[in-house]
Amino acid sequence: MRTARDGLRRAGAAGGITVGSVALGALTALAELVFLVLTLPFLGNPNVRTSARRLARLEAWRLRLDPSALDALHDRESGRATGYLAARVPAGVLGGLVLFVLAFGAVTAVRMAAAWGRGEPFDRMLPTTPLVAYLSLAGFVALFLVLSGLAGVHALERRLALRLLGPDPTEVLERRIAELAESRAGIVAAVDAERRRIERDLHDGLQQRLVGLSMLIGRSLRGRPELLQQAHQEAQQALAELREVAWRAYPSGLDSLGLGEALAGVAERSSVPVTVDCRLDERPPMAVETAAYFVVCEAVTNAAKHAGAALITVEVEREDGAVAVRVRDDGAGGARTSGGGLSGLARRVAALDGRFEVSSPAGGPTVVTAVLPCG
């Protein structure tokens, strides 16, 4: 019941915003029509173009669009903003007419109900059951059509703004192709770098320790049994390092236990206290789980080694069809995405069409955020 009430409240708020936007658009359409008529002889003037861009920016704010994504608002040379104002004037006037019909119908319905409530005829009509039923049905249908018209005008205005002020579709496609090519190259580089790191860890750490273990065992066999204890310790250390390298290459528990248990393992192995809050109702796709795990693992490792953090907080939750991962530490800050580990994470997240951000001012705190789409 509470969820239904919240849904109705949100729908009502959205409807009110739409009605307000269309009403304001009708007023600004008249103002922009006057502007276009007065400035028609001076359309090539830079001051006129600047004023047109300001009016178009106001429309973007009214339609709740991001001005930074509308190229025409930043182009000082083209007259695209002026063309947009001319194109949206009819849509704004149409929205005003639809609102007039809505207001006229509402006023008429109130006057009719008031007259019939006092027992008086309305426009020489007295209330009868068939007449009331007919007018009620017609009123509901008319209200539905008018509200649909308001929603249609609002959607039309947003489409006009995006089409006439936004980037050219061909240019958007070219940018997307370039981004995909760059991310693909970055993925290959990240995989190669990860393989090199594993090889280096095995060669410089585990391999040397096993060589030393072999020598100790060989010497102990020549009459020095006291070295067996040292050999045992070296073997335990080698096994610990082997497990660490294996987990960094790919956590085997991720497949069987899920992301929450795998992150709990990261927290247990960390030299800095780590708090994990994983709120996922169901398991995301495997690629998303793997990327989320490595984001947390790398961020925790950086915070422990380089930031001097005393506490690390990990939050994982669903967010509009995506998995949002946030790792926050109270360290010294100053982390840069150009570093090897963080740049590799950025490429891994980009490969899933996700978003990766690092906020790390001097003095901290550092917040690593990754939003990974599940679609």
Domain count within the chain:
3
- pLDDT for 79: 82
Q: Do residues 224 and 318 share a domain?
A: no
Query: Please, which contacts does 82-87 make with residues 24 or more away whose CB atoms are closer than 8 Å?
Result: 82/36, 82/43, 82/48, 82/49, 82/52, 83/164, 84/56, 84/59, 84/160, 84/161, 84/164, 84/165, 85/32, 85/35, 85/36, 85/52, 85/55, 85/56, 85/59, 86/36, 87/160, 87/164
* Rounded CA separation 210/201 (Å): 13
Angle between helix axes 129-165 and 46-62 (nearest 10 degrees) is 130
> 276: domain range?
257-373
| CATH number, position 317 | 3.30.565.10
Please name every residue paired with 368 in a beta bridge, in sequence order, or none if there are none.
Answer: 327, 358
Q: Do residues 123 and 39 share a domain?
A: yes
**What percentage of the chain has pLDDT greater than the value 90?**
20
Segment among 80-89, 147-156, 179-188 with least mean pLDDT: 179-188
pLDDT at 135 over 80: yes
- Kindly state whether residue 365 falls inside one of the protein's structural domains: yes
282 half-sphere exposure, CB direction, 13 A CA radius = 5
- Kindly state whether residue 172 falls inside one of the protein's structural domains: no
- Kindly state whether residue 344 falls inside one of the protein's structural domains: yes
229/14: higher pLDDT:
14
Amino acid at 63: L
Cα 296–chain centre separation: 19
Tell me the mean pLDDT in the region 278-303. 86
Q: Do residues 42 and 159 share a domain?
A: yes
- Kindly state whether residue 177 falls inside one of the protein's structural domains: no
Compute how many other C-beta atoms are within 10 angstroms of the C-beta atom of residue 346.
22
Q: Which of 197, 218, 249 is a domain's end point?
A: 249
pLDDT digits (tens, 9 = 90+) for 309-350: 889 999 999 888 899 999 999 888 887 776 656 787 888 888
Tell me the mean pLDDT in the region 175-185. 73
- pLDDT for 27: 92
Q: Which of 167, 196, 223 is a domain's end point?
A: 167
Q: Which of 167, 197, 232 is a domain's end point?
A: 167
Are 299 and 360 contacting, i.e. CB atoms less than 8 angstroms apart? Answer: no
Q: Do residues 202 and 348 share a domain?
A: no
* Rounded CA separation 249/271 (Å): 19
Are 270 and 312 contacting, i.e. CB atoms less than 8 angstroms apart? Answer: yes
- pLDDT for 313: 92
Q: Do residues 234 and 99 share a domain?
A: no
pLDDT tier for residue 247 given thresholds of 50, 70 and 90: low
Segment among 54-58, 152-156, 340-344 with least mean pLDDT: 340-344
Nearest alpha-carbon partner for 309 in 340, 331, 276: 331
* Rounded CA separation 348/342 (Å): 10
* Rounded CA separation 125/114 (Å): 13
Q: Do residues 49 and 158 share a domain?
A: yes
pLDDT digits (tens, 9 = 90+) for 26-47: 999 999 999 989 988 887 788 8
pLDDT at 283 over 70: yes
Q: Do residues 271 and 302 share a domain?
A: yes
- Kindly state whether residue 178 falls inside one of the protein's structural domains: no
Q: Do residues 24 and 103 share a domain?
A: yes
- Kindly state whether residue 348 falls inside one of the protein's structural domains: yes
Global pTM value: 0.50
Tell me the mean pLDDT in the region 94-108. 91
Are 307 and 333 contacting, i.e. CB atoms less than 8 angstroms apart? Answer: yes
- Kindly state whether residue 173 falls inside one of the protein's structural domains: no
Q: Do residues 124 and 41 share a domain?
A: yes
- pLDDT for 175: 79
Q: Where are the extended beta strands (E) located within 200-321?
A: 274-279, 312-318
Q: Do residues 38 and 150 share a domain?
A: yes
Segment among 119-128, 217-226, 365-374 with least mean pLDDT: 217-226
Q: What is the 3-state secondary structure (H, E, C) of 48-76?
A: HHHHHHHHHHHHHHHCCCCHHHCHHHHCC
Q: Do residues 290 and 197 share a domain?
A: no
pLDDT at 192 over 60: no
Element holding 329 (H helix, E strand): strand 322-329
**What percentage of the chain has pLDDT greater than the value 70?**
82
Q: Do residues 106 and 195 share a domain?
A: no
- List of residues 6+ apart from 301 with CB closer than 8 A: 341
144 half-sphere exposure, CB direction, 13 A CA radius = 6
- Kindly state whether residue 175 falls inside one of the protein's structural domains: no
- pLDDT for 261: 86
Tell me the mean pLDDT in the region 107-128. 84
pLDDT tier for residue 203 given thresholds of 50, 70 and 90: low
